Amino acid sequence: MPPLIELSGISRVYAMGSVSVQAVDNLTLSIEAGEFVAIMGHSGSGKSTLLNILGFLDRPDSGSYRLMGKETSTFSDDELSRLRNRVAGFVFQQFHLLPRMSVLENTELPLLYSGFTSEGKRRAAQKIDEVGLGHRMKHNPSELSGGEQQRVAIARSMINDPYILFADEPTGNLDTKNEHEILSLLKSLNAAGTTIIMVTHESDIAEQADRIITMRDGKIISDRRTNKKKKTTDPISSNISLSDPGANISEILSYLRQAIASLLSHKMRSFLSILGILIGVTSVITMMAIGRGAQESIETQLNSLGSNVLSVRPGSMRTHGVALESGTVTRLTLEDAEEMGAIPEISGVSAIVSDRAQVVYGNRNWNTSVSGVTPEYAEIRSLKPIAGSFFTDRDVGMRKKTAVLGVTVTRELFANANPVGKTIKINRVNFTVAAVLPELGSMGPFDRDDTVLIPVTTGMYRLMGKTYIDSIDVQVRSRELIDQAKKSIKAMIVRRHRLDPDDEDSFSIRDMTEMREAVAKTSQTIGMLLGIVSVISLIVGGIGIMNIMLVTVKERTREIGLRKAVGARKKDILLQFLIESVLLTSTGGMLGIAAGGMLSLVLGTLAQWPVSVTFVSIIMSTVFSVMVGIFFGLWPAIQASRLKPVEALRYE
């Protein structure tokens, strides 16, 4: 049988600035299973470095290290982690208990990295009972004495029933009583078959071992056995499994619990970190709600203009690149509107005349826009009266003095009374109110409810004194026929008014579809700009998260070293810190969604802005906040995972 441990020509050199220190110098050593070995020496003799190499916390620069006949110098970092988890147990002079965890949780920590099982707590409780601390199981380390903390560290080191227990000055910080208790505990473990390798600088402690190795300047200067009889130990199988157990749900939940405990231990710092994400997500939700609400409002307003509507007007929309309504114009007539109605692509036509007028009822008066239209206007513009009924073709033919009022005019003249059937004066001419239009809202600075509609012939001949019409609204049967309808209308006007076919200044045809697309594009651009501003605030919050996580890694360097010492792999550390980062950002994200929803409602109520919080914006904000946590938490997590266990444990 090969020795349990066999070192040959092991050397380790540390760089101290520009000076190199030979901590271990061409050392050869073998240790049998079941031995209790004490390594002694003055400070700087290399005994702690040797223990770190033996315990897979550090790598030698040269030489061979065989464990049960297997060469370990070629093992990867993760394979060494699994050796520390399954073969070795560690008892440190500084105890290295995690302050946020109870005695039970500290003891079961190595199980987290060996495939966490439901038996973990039972095994941890058993080990705590064996070291005499069953009554202190739920206490935190700060509530224990030094001797009790060291016993917890021993219980933790034995949780996976390791072959070898490494103890670095296990009694260095204890009084005489606790010192004897810890030594008795180590000897009982050794008697049960565990190999003990202990570093100490006290000769009376070393004399408790079966074998004492003394070092100086990185070399072994003596290796003697005490008078104790060498114990016989059952052979140890060299078939050590280094397979990766992989992550499981219990491990993930444990990381999550630890992340929550870590964040709660620094409440103010965590709150400030969350605040940056909260503000970013709140702005995303609010901006998207306002943008979406505005877009829906615009859609509603555009729909109220009618679908597939063309507006034919005299004069050109552009002359020499300048938008205007002057120049050589073609006066449109009722006959033009009537002939347009016969074009196959057109389903409805309304001639329109417009002017400003003073409207009076009783002692109330109001200056408003008055438009003469045909009954088809109501269908083209999707105007279904909320009270009364629209005038008819017979009313148009009779030039009847009947009026349909917008909501604003109704409110100004009649307050809350029903105006239908009442008589009003428009420029001193009596009109009977036939109906009230539905509320249309504003479009920019224009109040579309501040209007009065009358029969087009009444407007032309009885009120405004016009022999021509100002425009013609045309409804096309389908969107696909709009271009053909434009061509047909143009050809008809050119023919009727004997115009040059290339004359583009006499009349114009406005396409509401183009207007709809232009407004929608503008709305999308504004929404995109608002989204960019919100994303920038999220990125700023993410940078804050990265900064906090880097500080956290620095603060918890020793904890990272301990976790690696008990078997944590790089991916375990990476995953733990990523979960903490994502927890910060997702918490901020959820709070931001709630705050954004409330802020949107408040803005919508106080400022009378249209808002619409959509499920898509909620999902997008949630996903984005998680992605921010992953992206900005990845670098600190990588930094943490790259720390070497021995250097992390020594970090001040």
Share the mean pLDDT of the chain: 85
pLDDT tens string 412-453: 999 889 999 999 999 999 999 999 999 887 766 788 899 999
Give the per-residue pLDDT at 299: 64
Rounded-to-integer distance, Cα 439 and Cα 448, Å = 8
Let me know if residue 326 belongs to a domain: no
Predicted local distance difference test score (pLDDT) of residue 232:
52
What pLDDT, on a 0 to 100 scale, did the predictor assign at position 246? 58
pLDDT, mean of residues 185-194: 89
Pick the more confident residue, 628 or 165: 165
Give the residue numbers spanning the domain of 558: 260-300+518-649
Q: How far is CA 83 from the centre of its chain?
A: 37
The predicted structure's pLDDT at residue 220: 93
**Is 533 found in the same domain as 453?**
no
Residue 249 to residue 245: CA distance in whole angstroms: 12
* Per-residue pLDDT band at 323 (split at 50, 70, 90): very low
Among 318, 242, 189, CA closest to 81: 242
Asked whether residue 462 falls in the same domain as residue 597, the answer is no
Same structural domain, 136 and 267: no
Look at residue 522 and tell me if it is in a domain.
yes
Q: Kindly state the percentage of the chain with pLDDT values over 90.
A: 35
631 located within any domain: yes
Q: How confident is the model at residue 487 (pLDDT cuts 50, 70, 90)?
A: very high
**Domain contains 360:** yes
Could you give phi then psi for residue 100, rounded to 5 degrees?
Answer: -80, -10
- Quick: pLDDT tens for 71-126: 998 888 888 988 888 889 999 888 889 888 899 989 988 888 887 666 778 888 99
Pairing of strands 322-323, 318-319: antiparallel
How many structural domains are present in the chain? 3
Q: At what angle do helices 249-265 and 570-606 cross, to 10 degrees?
A: 60
- Give, for 630, the enclosing helix (H) or strand (E): helix 615-641
Among 75-79, 116-120, 291-295, 516-520, the range of highest mean pLDDT:
75-79
The domain that holds 136 is classified in CATH as 3.40.50.300
More confident call, 58 vs 248: 58
Instruction: Evaluate whether residue 619 is within a structural domain.
Output: yes
pLDDT of residue 325: 45
Is the pLDDT confidence value at 56 over 80? yes
Residue 621: both structure tokens together: 């904000």
The angle, 0 to 180 degrees and rounded to 10, between the axes of the packed helices 77-86 and 570-606 is 100
| Strand ranges inside 400-537, DSSP E | 402-405, 423-426, 429-436, 442-443, 446-447, 451-455, 471-476, 507-511
Domain-embedded: residue 316: no
Output the CA torsion sign for 330, 333, 335, 340: positive
Single out the residue of 127, 146, 72, 147 nearest to residue 137, CA to CA: 127
- Segment 621-627 shows an average pLDDT of 81
Does one domain contain both 191 and 227? yes
The pLDDT value recorded for residue 213 is 94
Q: Quick one: three-class SS letters along 510-554?
A: EEHHHHHHHHHHHHHHHHHHHHHHHHHHHHHHHHHHHHHHHHHHH
Domain shared by 408 and 543, yes or no: no
pLDDT above 60: residue 318: no
- Asked whether 210 and 196 are in contact (CB, 8 A), the reply is no
Least confident of 13-27, 530-544, 566-580: 530-544
Residues 206 and 269 in one domain: no
The contacts of residue 1 (CB under 8 Å, 6+ apart) are: 235
Round to whole Å and give the CA distance between 516 and 305.
10
Q: What pLDDT is attached to residue 512?
A: 67
Same domain, 212 and 339: no
Tell me: do 362 and 291 sit in the same domain: no
Q: How much is the pTM? A: 0.66
Asked whether residue 111 falls in the same domain as residue 233, the answer is yes
Q: Give the pLDDT mean for 147-165.
A: 90
Give residue 521's pLDDT band: very low, low, confident or very high (50, 70, 90).
confident
Residues with Cβ within 8 Å of residue 240, at least 6 apart in sequence: 67, 68, 70, 83, 86, 87
Report how far residue 292's alpha carbon sits from residue 281's, in angstroms, rounded to the nearest whole number: 16
Which residue among 469, 498, 527 closes a domain? Answer: 498
* The length of the chain, given as a count of residues: 652
**268 plus 416 within the same structural domain:** no
Q: Indicate the pairing of strand 429-436 with strand 451-455.
A: unpaired
Would you state the pLDDT for residue 38? 94
Enumerate the β-bridge partners of residue 118: none
Look at residues 444, 463, 498 and tell me which one is the last residue of a structural domain: 498
Per-residue tokens: 280? 């970013």
Q: Do residues 346 and 467 both lie within one domain? A: yes
Residue 292 in any domain: the answer is: yes
The predicted model gives 280-293 an average pLDDT of: 78
Task: In whole angstroms, give the CA distance from residue 59 to residue 65.
Answer: 10
Q: What is the pLDDT of residues 444-470, one digit of tens each?
A: 678 889 999 999 999 999 999 998 999
At 327 the pLDDT is 43
511 within some domain? no
Instruction: Give pLDDT, residue 607.
Output: 64
pLDDT tens for 240-279 read 555 655 556 777 777 788 788 878 877 888 888 888 888 8
pLDDT at 322 over 50: no
Would you call 473 helix, strand, or coil by DSSP? strand
For residues 86 and 160, membership in a common domain is answered with yes
